[in-house]
Amino acid sequence: MALVGQRLAWPLLVVLAAMLLSACGSPSSEAAERAEELLARMTLEEKIGQMTLIERTAVVGCDEAEWVAACDLEKIAEFGVGALLSGGGSGPSQNDVAGWRSMVEEFQDAALSSRLGIPLLYGVDAVHGHNNVKGTVIFPHNIGLGAAGDADLVERIGRATAVEVAATGIRWTYAPVLAVVQDVRWGRTYESFGEDPDLVSDLGAALVRGLQAGDTTDDTYVLATPKHFVGDGGTTWGTGGRGYPIDQGVTEISEDELRAVHLSPYPASLAAGARTVMATYSSWDNGKVHGDRYLLTDVLRGELDFAGLVVSDWAGVDQVVPGDLEASVAQSVNAGIDLVMVPHDLVGFQTALRDVVLQGLVPEERIDEAVLRILTVKYEIGLFDRPLPGVGLAEQVGGDEHRALGAEAAAKSVVLLETGPGLLPLPKSERLLVGGRAADDIGIQSGGWTIGWQGRPGDITDGTTIVEALEAELGDGVEYEPSGSFETPAKTGLVVLGEGPYAEGLGDSATLPLPNNELQVLERMREHVDRLVVVLLVGRPVVLDAVADLADVIVVAWLPGTEGQGVVDVLTGARDVTGVLPVTWPASPDVAPRFEKEACEDALYPVGYGLGFDGVPLEEVGPCGSP
């Protein structure tokens, strides 16, 4: 998989792919014409309004947040706001499909009441299903899909996600993440499909195809947003932004490597028709990428022929020249940011952008170019004709078909690291002792970006936990005790250990631990059983020492989402085990960064490793240290 030699061929492929896609990435001429006509009728303030993307609480949140200047719906028209988003976990108090639809409808109506009646683009991080909304199907996080390595599966997940998103009246998601993770201590490791640019390229494009299937004006055509452009997965430990160790840090690599590893997944997603791209918080040679004209314009538009819109990340513009909003806004917009995810200081942003335009620091042609791209995308997806799509889709949300797909994905994600003859599948007609709090916890198995931004343990949404699926499959033989304290010994024990949910920089970790008290469950159970199976619910490789000492079987189920059934299907042999590691499992956290390392250098298990039930590696990749 991730071979250094393979990477060298990539710059050439990038160029070839860019040449190919220049034919297909261009907007429809009718949409572009209508956008031109509208642009000609707009004032500078209205144009700036179209470039404004605010969080929903910046409109409705008066009481919650005093710093919000605009706090009622009329402000949307008054400030000509062009786009709104729900940040992680941000939704209506009635958190279901109907609640979301009526929220989006109210916002949309407010926008349509402006002088020009331009509809809003509403965006959301539907990164593993429509994950802010209760009752939706939560699919495995990308790291698990990387283990499955099945582009057709990812495309079908994109389709199901698009249907669930469209059902709530939304046409835009901030996915796929095209980060090519190089250091698994990064809190966003699970958002990456893996360390191999080739794999990220294939699966990212598959997700774009799934989200954007059919005609652009179809209700369930949901705009994809490859992110974060570019280099987010290659930052150096110790250089992180906003006080984080590695997240939002500096990608300290040569341009050749930036292109070969981190840029190379983009052409396939753009060729698949992606119309929006999000800039990365991270920095490279010229400082923050949000202010880097070379990367955002010369490379993304010039070389890759991207004709859609570039959106900034959450307050990412503010970081370009710290403490100087005007300078930050001017540099970012000149660099190529078209739509600014403000996300709260609506008035501050609009004032700053207007000022720098009037001072001549940002040419009005650059404003026109940005607005034209935004309006063109809105016309292309038919927003002007149907501002609230997705009537009649509610029944499919969280429906059986999508849940079956979630279970299939969870099963295909499973990687078997250690086993022995006859240890798996689990016997059907015996007692099975099950321990570990993660065994019966939808929140832990779903991870970050689920209902809340950081995710949360507990019964946070509908789904099937591992214990529930085991009980359904194996019946009365299953005895569950989270603490692992059992009286009567049995032949087989199963412990589920979870990292616990986190997101972004808050998940950066120097030590990659499993929770200590849960490791004690393992020790307790070891004494009572002959065969001990450990299932890990993790967003990345963790330190295995204690587990390796005590377990006979080690199964990595990543963050499978709401359909724990899939994991159990593998444990019971109803489905085969087929997943392999999408990242190297480092020998210890301090040797985690991959960059140019050989497969087994500093590693416990190499990328591509994974066993079948018979204990034989699936891809002829042996464990490290084996002859």
Residues at the interface with ligand BGC (CB under 6 A)? 87-90, 125, 174, 227, 313-314, 453, 504
Q: At what angle do helices 325-335 and 346-358 cross, to 10 degrees?
A: 70
| Those residues with Cβ within 8 angstroms of residue 482's Cβ, 6 or more apart along the chain or in another chain | 435, 436, 437, 439, 440, 521
Of 152, 155, 131, 151, which is closest to residue 141 (Cα–Cα)?
A: 131
What minimum distance in Å lies between the beta carbon of 283 and ligand BGC? Answer: 14
Our CB check for ligand BGC shows the closer of 88 and 541 to be: 88
Our CB check for ligand BGC shows the closer of 227 and 373 to be: 227
253 vs 220: CA distance, rounded Å: 39
Secondary structure letter of residue 156 according to DSSP:
H
Instruction: Please check whether residue 455 is in contact with residue 448, taking contact to mean a CB–CB distance below 8 angstroms.
Output: yes
Instruction: Please check whether residue 490 is in contact with residue 528, taking contact to mean a CB–CB distance below 8 angstroms.
Output: yes
Secondary structure letter of residue 483 according to DSSP:
T
Active site residues: 313, 504
Q: What is the largest CA-CA distance in the chain?
A: 79
Q: Which residue is nearest to ligand BGC (CB)?
A: 87
Only one residue has tokens 């050439």, namely 12
Our CB check for ligand BGC shows the closer of 83 and 557 to be: 83
Our CB check for ligand BGC shows the closer of 90 and 297 to be: 90
What minimum distance in Å lies between the beta carbon of 179 and ligand BGC? Answer: 10
What minimum distance in Å lies between the beta carbon of 169 and ligand BGC? Answer: 18
160 vs 129: CA distance, rounded Å: 8
What minimum distance in Å lies between the beta carbon of 58 and ligand BGC? Answer: 12
Only one residue has tokens 């590693």, namely 603
335 vs 337: CA distance, rounded Å: 6
Q: What is the sign of the dihedral through the CA atoms of 536, 539, 541 and 543?
A: negative
Our CB check for ligand BGC shows the closer of 314 and 480 to be: 314
What minimum distance in Å lies between the beta carbon of 376 and ligand BGC? Answer: 22
Write the CA distances from 208 to 234, 289, 454, integer angstroms: 23, 23, 25
Q: What DSSP line would sit under 48-79, residue for residue? A: HHHTEEEETHHHH-TTT-TT-S--STHHHHHT
Our CB check for ligand BGC shows the closer of 315 and 417 to be: 315
Our CB check for ligand BGC shows the closer of 319 and 578 to be: 319
CA atoms within 13 A on the CB side of 281: 21
What minimum distance in Å lies between the beta carbon of 540 and ligand BGC? Answer: 17
Q: At what angle do helices 325-335 and 364-380 cross, to 10 degrees?
A: 60
Our CB check for ligand BGC shows the closer of 189 and 396 to be: 189
What minimum distance in Å lies between the beta carbon of 61 and ligand BGC? Answer: 12
Structure tokens at 524: 């307790």
What minimum distance in Å lies between the beta carbon of 313 and ligand BGC? Answer: 5
Secondary structure letter of residue 260 according to DSSP:
I
